[in-house]
Structure 1
């Protein structure tokens, strides 16, 4: 995501967005490093115990301690060695003039980050394989960080009602109601809850930051949790209502902080931290919740 600076912007064009994990700039946390020229010594003068070796389909394998690490190597005109973790594993992009030994050493230096990110990716993939929720009486739905139970009752006087004590959401529908009909009722209720809750939390953090926002609206974006324009228009993804309140507050604090720093500079993150000290843990928790793990409407 391109970072935009707050210099006489067009309010209709300038917006900072908080992306889902798949598109979050922080998913690749500053792992690019300048590659040394061929005549320069390797950093630290330490080479891996065993050099990498080629595999089929453009892959290579390097032994790091007890672990065999496979990766794809792409040569390009770039001036640094870049690391990227995706569903296919580790991909490294390196300048054409960098030697394989230098690439192996760069992998060795970044091994902790690489293995951490690979483990996170595997955990998210495992969560995606978990059974999806069942849209029926007794089905469970994530709401504010905990599961609530769906109850279908034809005798309900109102269309839908939530009992905080029993954590049951009762919907006025027959037991054999169509799945999409139930989804529509539940989605409508969740969006109303999101609008109510976000409307309560926004003024709290706006006051803490000393900023004013012009308006806020719900978003159904597939790639962002929230966005903020330079003229103070806030959009928050209604799917945040699935998460615990601290994660919702983090996104709200994040977007409102853009009204003081329209970028993602160190000053911006310091602004977020000033009103939400636990922002790093909340940011990680959001990344760990892949959109694929949420209910499908």
Structure 2
């Protein structure tokens, strides 16, 4: 009965296929393998290194994972994890789950008792914990790719690396993109002194990227709108944490400015996706048929977008 009440909100990554249990031993033609005479035993030095390596305390290895939302108000034990989640009562007909970079949010109608919320959490425990783990790994990858904003910093524009060069001599003309002196790659010359602070460099690069984003988005919206038989009225740049874009029935299109890091075909997919919502305001089969009418390879581009990890912008 409770399942019929649930409307589960999936995050950007969607459902992953169930994993298969690992076999007890590696097998060849159905039989477990065993060491052969050609396999040399480990060297004494390798054994010594292994014995000298510090072992992880058993308590740490067995400690349950913990995920905490900054606005958490309730906690649940889901499998081998403690999850502190944000819980809100809202005007809706079913229980909703959202896994975002900040953690798990649960929204429930006012008339559903807490015991039913707890039951719903347990029923979706595997999915929730898996998505929280994926989100944590994604954030760790973002952190590892953090850009150090200085002379020589590198970021991507339309899928290609761009090197930042601080050059106060170009102050009159503003930021300028060129091929670079040695032809090794494109260079973004920012009118800043070599000793400029990281925040100043970051803000100048962001301002240039946002100008390019607006120009490119308008160009691509004007390209796809006639093909889809729709008219857009306004484009806004966003910095949303979980959405690349959105569309309103009044013709307003919102697109994440950092899409300009990606290849043009991926940008085109997002633009076509949002414009298609001006014809079909849901994700029904008819909506995807509309997207496919102008982007035949949308499924591949959609998967590439989901697999994208943006470096943390700080």
With the length of structure 2 as denominator, give the TM-score of the two structures.
0.58
Find the counterpart in structure 2 of residue 237 from structure 1: 256
* Separation (CA, whole Å) in 2 of partners of 1:186 and 1:28: 27
Find the counterpart in structure 2 of residue 190 from structure 1: 209
Relative distance call for 1:183 and 1:201 in structure 2 (3 A) is same
* Structure 2 residue 147 is the aligned partner of structure 1 residue 133: yes
* Structure 2 residue 180 is the aligned partner of structure 1 residue 162: no
Is the 8 Å Cα contact of residues 120 and 288 (structure 1) preserved in structure 2? no
Root-mean-square deviation over aligned CA pairs: 4.2
* Separation (CA, whole Å) in 2 of partners of 1:146 and 1:217: 25
Relative distance call for 1:61 and 1:155 in structure 2 (3 A) is closer
Relative distance call for 1:217 and 1:273 in structure 2 (3 A) is same
Higher relative contact order at CA 8 Å, sep ≥6: structure 1 or structure 2? 1
- Number of equivalenced pairs: 236
Is the 8 Å Cα contact of residues 75 and 82 (structure 2) preserved in structure 1? no
Find the counterpart in structure 1 of residue 240 from structure 2: 222
SS, match of residue 132 in structure 1:
coil
Find the counterpart in structure 1 of residue 313 from structure 2: 295
With the length of structure 1 as denominator, give the TM-score of the two structures.
0.60
Relative distance call for 1:208 and 1:116 in structure 2 (3 A) is farther
SS, match of residue 214 in structure 2:
helix
Is the 8 Å Cα contact of residues 147 and 153 (structure 2) preserved in structure 1? yes
* Separation (CA, whole Å) in 2 of partners of 1:117 and 1:276: 29
SS, match of residue 279 in structure 2:
coil
Q: Which runs of 5+ in 2 are unaligned?
A: 1-7, 16-73
SS, match of residue 280 in structure 2:
coil
* Structure 2 residue 221 is the aligned partner of structure 1 residue 202: yes
* Structure 2 residue 164 is the aligned partner of structure 1 residue 145: no
* Structure 2 residue 240 is the aligned partner of structure 1 residue 256: no
